[in-house]
Structure 1
């Protein structure tokens, strides 16, 4: 039996310096939900659909701390490594494969969505 398997296409979305440390960049592409690409203080990069599993808030507008992000709506903490909400909350954001090659950030996207990606940068809010 032959199964059809969708092989992702690695698509360059930005340079790592386009994502502020402890910040994010949102990537838009036709027909799909926005993708949040996060950069931790140790330069690890993570990507997931830009929607909190709780009430759908934009995770890209949250605060990045360590390898997690806090949703700006209700403060849910989401683990950037696997998309899981941290206890006591329960839920999971959809994580996407991401890698950095020679400073370029690449996302693994299905072939039909890999064209015409646009991004916008989100800085970490400073506390006064």
Structure 2
């Protein structure tokens, strides 16, 4: 069973915008679409490491701000002939709050 943690209100992210969430697993970009769908992806583009949280959201896609690679936020797969993918994470909206997969908060390695 996936456990979720509250990371903020949906209204904290503008439509077609993003916020960066720093976790023990690394930085996650949380996106809000124009129709209030929410997606969570690794913040780092596999091409040149561009910050996807600073990219342009259009529909259910995000375009990397460095070299215009486009990613499907449902799958994390690069579009338009580019090869690569970014990891996606479980996320949901509940009573106007954004809930992110809590496993991201845990440290990568046990002490």
Task: Provide the TM-score with structure 1 as the length reference.
Answer: 0.78
Q: Which has the higher contact order (CA 8 A, sep 6+)?
A: 1
Residue of structure 2 aligned with 1:10, choices 4, 7, 14: 4
Give 3-state SS (helix, strand or coil) of 1:110's partner: helix
Tell me which of 61, 71, 78 is aligned to 1:85.
Answer: 78
One of 32, 38, 54 as aligned partner of 1:61:
54
Is the radius of gyration larger for structure 1 or structure 2?
A: 1
CA RMSD of aligned residues (A): 1.6
Deviation above 6 Å: which 4+ runs of structure 1? none
Correspondence for 2:68 among 75, 84, 103:
75
* Structure 2 CA distance for aligned equivalents of residues 51 and 87 of structure 1: 19
Check 1:87–1:28 CA distance in 2 against 1; reply closer, same or farther (3 A cut): same
Change (3 A) 1:93 1:17: same
Pairs aligned (count): 107
Kindly indicate whether residue 42 of structure 2 is the aligned counterpart of residue 49 of structure 1.
yes
Q: TM-score, normalised by structure 2?
A: 0.90
The answer to whether the 8 Å contact 1:8/1:111 transfers is no
Structure 1: where are the runs of 5+ without partners?
A: 1-6, 115-128
